[in-house]
A = this chain, B = another copy of it.
Amino acid sequence: MSEKLIGSCIFGQSGGPTAVINASAYGVIRAALDAEEITKVYGAAHGIKGVLDDKLYVMDEEDPAELELLLHTPSSELGSCRYKIADPEVDDTDYKRILEIFKKYNVRYFFYNGGNDSMDTCNKVSRYMESVGYECRVMGVPKTIDNDLYGTDHCPGFASAAKYIATSCMEINKDARVYDNGMITIVEIMGRHAGWLAASAALAAEFGSGPDLIYLPECDFDLDKFFADVERIYAQKGKVLVAVSEGIHYADGRFVSEAKTSATDGFGHAQLGGLAALLAEMVKERTGAKVRGIELSLLQRCGAHLASATDVNEAFTAGKTAVEAAVSGVTGKMVAFKRVYVDGKYTCEIELLPLSSVANFEKKVPLEWINEEQNGLKHEFIDYVLPLIQGEPKLPLEHSLPRYARLKKVLAK
């Protein structure tokens, strides 16, 4: 047991929002408010930018009941950012400013909730504070619908998005088959380099109403093969449902959607989108069939009403564990999940991994889980994802519509 470290904490949210990132926020905030070592709990407005801008909300001022509603409030309630922090060896301006803020508020605990890039930020802050001898325990809380974080069996946020995608594909599949004329439907699903989300559409097929074909960015996309797949099923059944990951790319690396857009986000990633419409146009031209493109867009990552209770609980636990570990002396780690089957039943164990071992690595769908035709998933993937989507959280409703947390967001002076 380390020495007691007394001081305040800052919690920040980063990267794209999810249905359960606020459940992790609640895990951190609740545990921090309850920890006697932590004197004050600050929430950074828009992640690390809120630290740099000295824009911190005092969580101690919030109504506990409203805080608890964070468990079922989608998106990043404190605001997020896609700010890429420099390497401290190259430019330490930001780090000096962070140190200044940490000193101003006597911050001894820093919790950061995000994906790959955010764990990198977290790792850099941790290393810098150590290098200048400022004692501050830094913990990463994983989050990403993309499920591409290295070292953890899965990520909070992924399962709820997977459940949204599977349920929506089941519904779309029902709808897209009602007429007696032919119909080809192409559903575009998020996922830049890892196909976990598009793969989740296989759950819909597994339970009787899902896609005929699924294409992931783990394999090179072959347009002729794609046309042949679609035409074969269209000839057999007259109806085709296709799920594609936004990140599918040709063998030379070009994104299939690339022709449509050239904008990039703050991290220099290409901004994808419009792929379903593009493919629909190409298939229509080729087959003459009626074709519809559907983009699940933001809906898939903010669909808290279809969240997995397993995911909500694990997200909360991840946040809570980060605080408990830090208070007990741990620093420079990310909370990770390890899957254990007890009597054949899925359980989730917590591990703490060095931030340096997870930052900037990407975990993809194993190629051996993808079928030989590279247009569908094997049962190994279903076995992997099915336990994660289980359970329906009891959503707080008001007039049969979601009742989200309403925070006061009192700024620290």
Contact = CB atoms under 8 A, between A and B. Distances in A.
Given A74-B174, A171-B302, A277-B274, A397 B406 contact: no
B171 A299 contact: yes
Interface string A28-47: 00000000000000000110
A106 interface: no
A390 interface: yes
Contact of A406 (B81, B171, B208, B303): B208
A73 B294 CA distance: 21
Contact of A204 (B273, B390, B401): B401
Interface string A388-413: 01111000011111111010000000
A178 interface: yes
A386 interface: yes
A294 to B, nearest CB: 5
A295 interface: yes
A79 interface: yes
Contacts of A174: 17, 73-75, 302, 404
A180 B390 contact: no
A392 B163 CA distance: 19
Interface stretch (A244-252, A304-312, A340-348, A357-365): A304-312
A9 to B, nearest CB: 21
Interface in A47-86: 49, 73-76, 79-82
A170 interface: yes
Contacts of A180: 45-46, 49, 79, 81
B404 A170 contact: yes
Copies of this chain per assembly: 2
B308 A299 contact: no
Interface in A195-244: 203-204, 207-209
A193 to B, nearest CB: 21
Interface in A155-186: 163, 166-168, 170-172, 174-180, 185
Nearest to A18: B175
Given A171-B302, A299-B172, A79 B401 contact: no
Contacts of A203: 401
A50 to B, nearest CB: 9
A298 interface: yes
B75 A179 contact: no
Interface string A279-314: 000000000000010111111011111101000000
Interface string A87-99: 0000000000000
Contacts of A80: 178-179
Contacts of A389: 399-401
13 contacts: A46-B179, A75-B178, A79-B179, A80-B178, A163-B401, A171-B304, A171-B402, A172-B298, A175-B302, A176-B298, A207-B398, A277-B277, A305-B306
Given A17-B174, A49-B180, A390-B400, 13 more contacts: A17-B178, A46-B179, A74-B175, A82-B179, A167-B402, A168-B303, A170-B401, A172-B299, A175-B301, A207-B403, A294-B299, A305-B305, A390-B399
